[in-house]
Structure 1
Amino acid sequence: MDIKLIQFQSHGDERGALVSLEESKNIPFEIKRVYYMFNTIQDVRRGFHAHQKLKQLAIVVKGSCRFMLDDGKEKIEVPLDNPSQGLFIDSLVWREIFDFSDDCVLVVLADEIYDETDYIRNYDEFIKLVNNDS
């Protein structure tokens, strides 16, 4: 599985740092939805789903967490702890998010608005779909 981490240009001086996010420049899609997670209870795992079409970019703007990505053939763990970097998550990739630091703030940009019918919430169904089984 090809993991795509997008490095953002960080501007800063003694006052602090700034990262600018612009669709079709450093974000590889049109942004239609933004959400964020914070105050996640320690030892909680989130996600447990894939999307049929949706593409996302996950950015830890504070703290850290880990992603487990699974394309049906390979599972890869990806740590996120750099606010100048985004993790691109393509469609048909199962994701689980875990190991949240106490101060973690995770922002996710998506290329579509929320649509429950796009979710694949059953892992066995996900495996059948990606392996073209009936």
Structure 2
Amino acid sequence: MNIEIINIPKIENSQGNLAVIEHNAIPFDIKRVYYLYDIPSSAKRGGHSHKKLKQVLVAISGSFDVVLKDGSQEQIVTLNKPDKGLLINSNVWRELENFSSGAVCLVMASDVFSEGDYIRDFQEYLDYLKFNHML
């Protein structure tokens, strides 16, 4: 699967830790940053894929699961450490679920928002992969 766990550099201190995202901590130029918060535990987010966009997701507070699919396999990654990021490359379906109370998901993206880059229907996603010979 076209994903990777990224270690975000941190500075540990008895008065609290500091995570630093600079230089080449993220393997692409960050063009957009947003975060999800106040998400009910029963809610699901995501439910889409991107044709070109890459993202890094970080649980900066709390925890949540990321269900990842590439058309042939499924993997679930639990994010619960603010010094670990999940790199999701293009053409990977993602769904976010099982949000803990107070969970905050930070998302860093390789480009600005473009509706044309989204695939929001799973069957359409599978058809896209087949058409582009990615399956």
TM-score range, shorter chain: over 0.9
Q: If the length of structure 2 is used for normalisation, what is the TM-score?
A: 0.94
For 1:20, the equivalent position in structure 2 comes to 20
Unaligned stretches of 5+ in structure 1? none
Q: Which amino acid aligns with 1:127?
A: L
Q: Distance in 1 between matches of 2:94 and 2:88?
A: 9
**Partner-residue secondary structure (3-state), 2:95:** strand
**Partner-residue secondary structure (3-state), 1:126:** helix
Q: Where does 1:75-86 land on structure 2 (aligned, <5 Å)?
A: 75-86=74-85
The count of aligned residue pairs is: 133
Q: Distance in 1 between matches of 2:68 and 2:7?
A: 19
Deviations 1:14-67 (A, max 9, x none): 1100011025x1100000000000000121111110011000000010100000
Q: Distance in 2 between matches of 1:70 and 1:80?
A: 16
Q: Where does 1:1-134 land on structure 2 (aligned, <5 Å)?
A: 1-23=1-23, 25-132=24-131
Q: Distance in 1 between matches of 2:38 and 2:130?
A: 36
Deviations 1:40-97 (A, max 9, x none): 0121111110011000000010100000000111110000001000000011111000
Distance verdict in 2 for CA 1:3–1:90, change over 3 Å: closer
Q: If the length of structure 1 is used for normalisation, what is the TM-score?
A: 0.95
- Percent of pairs with identical residues: 38
Q: Which amino acid aligns with 2:110?
A: D
Contact 2:9 2:21 in 1 (8 A): no
- Report the alpha carbon displacement of residue 4 of structure 1 after superposing the two structures with TM: 0.5
Runs of 4+ in structure 1 off by over 3 angstroms are none
Q: Distance in 2 between matches of 1:120 and 1:21?
A: 29
Q: Which amino acid aligns with 2:28?
A: F
Q: Distance in 2 between matches of 1:130 and 1:22?
A: 33
Unaligned stretches of 5+ in structure 2? none
The CA RMSD over aligned residues, in Å, is 1.4
